[in-house]
Amino acid sequence: MISRMRWILLCFLAVILVFNATACSKKKTLKKETGTGIYYTNEKYIKLIHVNKKLDVKENGQLGAEELLDDMRKVNKKSNYRSAIPDKVVVNSVTVLNNVASVDFSTGYKKISNNQDLICRAAIVYTLTQLKAINYVEFSISGQSMLDTDGKAYGALNNDSFVFGNLPVDLEN
């Protein structure tokens, strides 16, 4: 009886060890795949698509932010993703000061849909905060702070600022 109980206990422990080992290896793989890159969106503006790009995260924050915002606009016509910054939206300026990037849009930003708004802001925040010089991103429209649906300024946003937590992201290499 005791040997049978030991055998069952050993089998149970072996199953738990195998399960934990595979769960840990999957987490490491996912983290490794994401790396640094540019965030784009799909055709319907409902999810982000991460495209790997070698970024010098130590690069000057101002120059890095300008380059990354330019890169976010460059999309190969044959790709399965598009720029998260809608075509009718112009980035007037980006200024980096004290680990905060301030991005100012043209008034065309007010005409985009809620999905486009959310995906655009998330993509910019996720992309720019990869630079060591940038921890937060603030948004404005023609110099006026961007407001939420309650009329309150968004303020400085980071990756944790988005309610959905695990933003739907596809990885593309």
How many structural domains compose the chain?
A: 2
Indicate if 5 and 52 belong to the same structural domain. no
Indicate if 18 and 65 belong to the same structural domain. no
Indicate if 73 and 149 belong to the same structural domain. yes
Indicate if 123 and 139 belong to the same structural domain. yes
Indicate if 64 and 129 belong to the same structural domain. yes
Indicate if 24 and 68 belong to the same structural domain. no
Indicate if 64 and 22 belong to the same structural domain. no
Residues of the chain with pLDDT under 70: 1-35, 57, 59, 163-173
Its domain, for residue 63, covers 35-172
Indicate if 129 and 63 belong to the same structural domain. yes
Indicate if 80 and 152 belong to the same structural domain. yes
Residues in the chain: 173
Distance, CA of 59 to CA of 99 (rounded, Å)? 13
Q: Would you state the pLDDT for residue 7?
A: 55
Indicate if 54 and 127 belong to the same structural domain. yes
Task: Specify the pairing of strand 48-52 against strand 37-41.
Answer: antiparallel
Indicate if 137 and 155 belong to the same structural domain. yes
Contact indicator for 137, 125 with CB cutoff of 8 Å: yes
Residue pLDDT, tens place only, 29-74? 223 235 678 999 988 888 889 998 887 767 688 999 999 999 999 9
